[in-house]
Each structure stands twice: as C-alpha cells, then as structure tokens.
Amino acid sequence: MTVTRSPLLKAAALLLPSAALFSPCPALAEGGFVSLQSGITDSQDMDNFNTAYKIQFGPNILDQFALEFGLLDMGRVGYEDPVATFTDVSDDTPPSFRNAEHGSVVRQNAAQDSGSKATFTGISEAHPRGFLITFRYKFELTQDLDFFVKTGANIWEAEYDTIEIIANDDKTVTKRKLDSRKTSAVDQISGGGFLWQPLQDLALRAELETTALDSQHFSRVRFQLLTLGAQFEF
C-alpha cells in the first residue's frame, strides 16, 4: 500500500491563506450541515461506471468557510476486456491483444505439446469507497445562490477483481477470474459547485469533483464525480 504524503496538510496550507485574503474580517459561524448527494462517475481511463453516492457533514467555521467530512461510494467501475487479434498467427507468431494497457500481456511461441498463445492478466472491475476530509470556501453570488471551491483528502479503499484471458493460435479464447483483492491509499480530491438556498435551512447542492486513485496494486486512474443533492443547515 502506498500513501500520498500529507494531502490534508497541503490542502489546508493552500486554502487557509486564500480564505484570509477573501475575508479580512471573518465572522465566526454557528452550527453545521449535512448533505446527501448522488450522481455519476466518469473517467477517461476506464470504460464502465455506476452511480456514485455521498454523504457530507461538518461545522461551519466562518460564514464562508467550512470543514467537511464525507463518506463516498463511487459504485463499481471497470475496464472492457481486451480484444484478441490473430493477424499472421503461427507457431512463431503468437496472438496479441488490443486495448490491454490496464494489464500485462505475455506472448509465447509454440512448444512441443502446445501451440503459440498470448495471456493477458489485469484488473477487470473495482469498487472504490472513500472517507473525505475537505475544506470548503464559498462566494456569495446572490442572496440565495453561492459558488464554492473545495479541496482535501480522499482516504480510499477499493476491492478489485483480477482476470486472465488466454488467446490460442487456433483462435480460441478463454477467460477466468483469478482473485479479488483490496488496496488503499490517500489521494487529493478537489472541486467546486453551487448552493441554492430556497429555504432558510435547506439548500440544493450541485458539484463537480475530481480525484485520482493510485496505489501499488492499482494503476493511476483519474475520476470525475458530478453529484446533485440537498444540504440541511442546523
């Protein structure tokens, strides 16, 4: 397991001076909030996605500045299986795979008792979940509408499935699941969004966030999360 060094401290160091600049005479706030959101997960690095769910809560430190804690379920995400190719296949020219960048491919020439073949081994699906610690700073656009930016740490864990696909020189292809494992790390999460408050203690919250999952056993993948929900002030 690899851990990104002190992303929360880096986030605080970046955000706190900015908050001081925008609010030279900050007013202490009272109470806190809780928000429930759902939305979509997307990535240019993976192929299949599911619905994301998130709950966030925390104290309002200043009128425009809040500390947020959150639980994030990104849903199951996955790769399309690589496609076996058999161009000019022979005893000395094994099959190959297209779209196999998310794993490894071993090509073997024919042996005495078997033909040539190619073996792909890699991640098929994963289910990332995270605990979030972020700082949020908001800017008032109108009496009922605020824009906010946020940054902090995504302390995540993911269960992932590893598969093996074998392409033989007779153009047969077999696939099997090797195992399921877990990996975890800490990565930065940042984003921004809008809070529209039609009622005194209720706001509609829409936000776009980006985070990367990167560990020793999980090649770096960057995700975008677009979520919509309600935020309750107390």
- On whether the CB atoms of residues 129 and 156 are closer than 8 A, the answer is yes
Q: Where are the alpha helices (DSSP H) in the chain?
A: 7-22
Q: Does residue 22 sit in helix, strand or coil? A: helix
d(CA 227, CA 187): 19
| pLDDT tens, N- to C-terminus, the chain (234 residues) | 344 444 444 444 444 444 443 444 455 667 899 999 999 999 988 999 999 999 999 999 998 999 999 999 999 999 999 999 999 999 999 999 999 999 999 999 998 888 999 999 999 999 999 999 999 999 999 999 999 999 999 999 999 999 999 999 999 999 999 999 999 999 999 999 999 999 989 999 999 999 999 988 888 899 999 999 999 998
Query: Which pTM does this prediction carry?
Result: 0.80
Number of separate helices (H) and strands (E) present in the chain: 1, 12
- On whether the CB atoms of residues 229 and 207 are closer than 8 A, the answer is no
Q: So what's the architecture of 7-233 in CATH?
A: Beta Barrel (2.40)
Residue 102, φ and ψ in degrees, nearest 5: -85, 10
CB-based burial label for 67 (10 Å; 0-12, 13-18, 19+): middle
**Domain residue spans of the chain:** 7-233
